[in-house]
Amino acid sequence: MDPRRLVPRTDAVLADPRLREAAARLGRAIVKAAVTSAQQEAREGTIAPSSVADAAFAALPDNATGLRPVVNATGVLLHTNLGRAPLSDAARAAVTTASGCADVEYDLATGRRGPRGAGALAALSAACPAAEAVQVVNNNAAALVLAATALAAGREIVIGRGEMVEIGDGFRLPDLLTSTGARLREVGTTNRTVARDYADAIGPDTGFVLKVHPSNFRIEGFTAETSVNDLAGLGVPVVVDIGSGLLAPDPVLPDEPDAATALSAGAALVTASGDKLLGGPQAGLLLGRRDIVERLRRHPLYRALRVDKLTLAALEATLRGPRPPAVQMLHADVTDVRRRAETLAKDLAATGIDALAIDTAAAVGGGGAPGVELPSAAVSLPAAYESPLRERRVIGRLDSGRLLLDLRSTDPADDATLRTAVRAAREET
């Protein structure tokens, strides 16, 4: 008899209690796809027909999303390709709370419509008292688009040539701004732009002056830039894109701009990201003068850019709760990181794995603090471990022919996961 005739029917496999429960949890389509794949393996002789249900069950994902959790051992704290800032436990719990019906725009006291995201906005205001008003949109690019549309559509935005940045994946700031109908008035040169350059360009058609922190590159040597304080005295609103989302100065990153300092220096509006150094969900933060923030909130485009209840919940918990992982990583004691690397390397070496603890340098990433090196420590492994570890969702970085698992960008709770993954990967090297 042709063994392919022994492959069980789809409905028979789906009747397996394990797969029936999984269908209720994941959805029938995902489970059926796993069954179909297992049946094909049986037809090809890769597995026995009697093992189809077992193989289908083993292939099922943990949940109904294609996204898979990974351990970020790259040494880049805010890795854009890996989702930037990991949420705190408090933020994750808040997302769960908000995932059902919630009073996102409802006043429980009166039974009427209430202000949207009042808790998150109050938390943001408390975290940045220098701002008269605050608002949130879905990312920092959206914050800039909203500002340009509401304040400068059909008018000019004055910007220094050295701040005409590309923000990643080919998206360039000039293209983003001019898509709103605003015109750019470029001033100065790539390396030097002084206050007079801005003053000479300002006229009746000026919507605002834009100062952008070049957060993913540095210009060194014969340079000059104009401070927010000097720009604020030119008689037009100054919008400052600080990028990485520091709300107040941080001694670890003394050269990174922050919202409080920019506002105190006279900025009318500051924009920033929520998923970088703030350590929260993807969001665009708008902080500044009450009249300007309200003007942006009342603009029709705001409706298209506003955030959902899950983002509001995560942002509020990030601001009110304990220090999020990104902030903990930034301020980690290198002595503790080195001790973890030494312990992990020693445990792995004891099983015959070529593992060494070495000192290294981590980076902020996510377009923040370019050129800043954070002292760190890593477990160094042969480069051959890179692929099998990646298959086990552990992402390191290759350097000088070795794979480094940098522990500053990982949670200490992941050390056991790293140990298990490396030992399992040894069988494939």
Do residue 249 and residue 345 come from a single domain?
A: no
Do residue 169 and residue 94 come from a single domain?
A: yes
Residue 27 has pLDDT above 70, yes or no: yes
Q: Which of 56-65, 86-95, 395-404 has the lowest mean pLDDT?
A: 56-65
Q: What would you report as the CA-atom Rg of the chain, rounded to the nearest whole angstrom?
A: 26
Do residue 235 and residue 355 come from a single domain?
A: no
CATH of the domain at 420: 3.90.1150.180
User: φ, ψ for residue 254 (rounded to 5)?
Assistant: -65, -20
Distance CA 83, CA 137 (A): 18
Nearest to 381 by CA among 359, 363, 357: 357
User: φ, ψ for residue 174 (rounded to 5)?
Assistant: -60, -40
Residue 126 has pLDDT above 80, yes or no: yes
pLDDT over 70, % of the chain: 98
Domains held by the chain: number: 3
Mean pLDDT to the nearest integer, 91-104: 97
Q: What is the pLDDT of the chain when averaged over all its residues?
A: 94
Task: Supply the pLDDT for residue 172.
Answer: 87
Q: Supply the pTM of this predicted model.
A: 0.92
Tokens of 84: 């930037």
Task: Supply the pLDDT for residue 4.
Answer: 72
Task: Supply the pLDDT for residue 68.
Answer: 92
Q: Residue 220 falls within a domain, yes or no?
A: yes
CATH of the domain at 178: 3.40.640.10
Mean pLDDT to the nearest integer, 339-347: 98
Do residue 306 and residue 347 come from a single domain?
A: no
Q: Residue 65 falls within a domain, yes or no?
A: no
Higher pLDDT, 200 or 336: 336
Residue 370 exposed, middle or buried by CB count within 10 Å (0-12, 13-18, 19+):
middle
Residue 368 has pLDDT above 60, yes or no: yes
Do residue 293 and residue 342 come from a single domain?
A: no
Q: Residue 66 falls within a domain, yes or no?
A: no
Q: Which of 183-187, 203-207, 286-290, 365-369 has the lowest mean pLDDT?
A: 365-369
Do residue 75 and residue 112 come from a single domain?
A: no
Q: How far is CA 212 from CA 144, 159, 169, 351, in A?
A: 10, 8, 18, 51
Q: How far is CA 396 from CA 74, 338, 385, 399, 401, in A?
A: 4, 17, 10, 10, 13
Do residue 181 and residue 287 come from a single domain?
A: yes
Residues in the chain: 429
Tokens of 337: 């990181």
The amino acid sitting at 27 is: G
Distance CA 183, CA 160 (A): 14
CB 252 within 8 A of CB 331: yes
Do residue 339 and residue 317 come from a single domain?
A: no
Do residue 306 and residue 352 come from a single domain?
A: no
Do residue 344 and residue 316 come from a single domain?
A: no
Q: Residue 386 falls within a domain, yes or no?
A: yes
Its domain, for residue 233, covers 89-322
Where does the pLDDT of residue 3 fall: very low under 50, low under 70, confident under 90, or very high at 90 and above?
low
Where does the pLDDT of residue 189 fall: very low under 50, low under 70, confident under 90, or very high at 90 and above?
confident
Where does the pLDDT of residue 2 fall: very low under 50, low under 70, confident under 90, or very high at 90 and above?
low
Mean pLDDT to the nearest integer, 129-157: 97
Task: Supply the pLDDT for residue 7.
Answer: 93
Please identify, among 307, 322, 337, the residue that sits at the C-terminal boundary of a domain. 322
The amino acid sitting at 256 is: E
Tokens of 273: 């990201």
Write the pLDDT tens digit of every residue in 208-252: 999 998 766 667 777 678 889 999 999 999 999 998 889 999 999
Do residue 303 and residue 375 come from a single domain?
A: no
Do residue 36 and residue 97 come from a single domain?
A: no
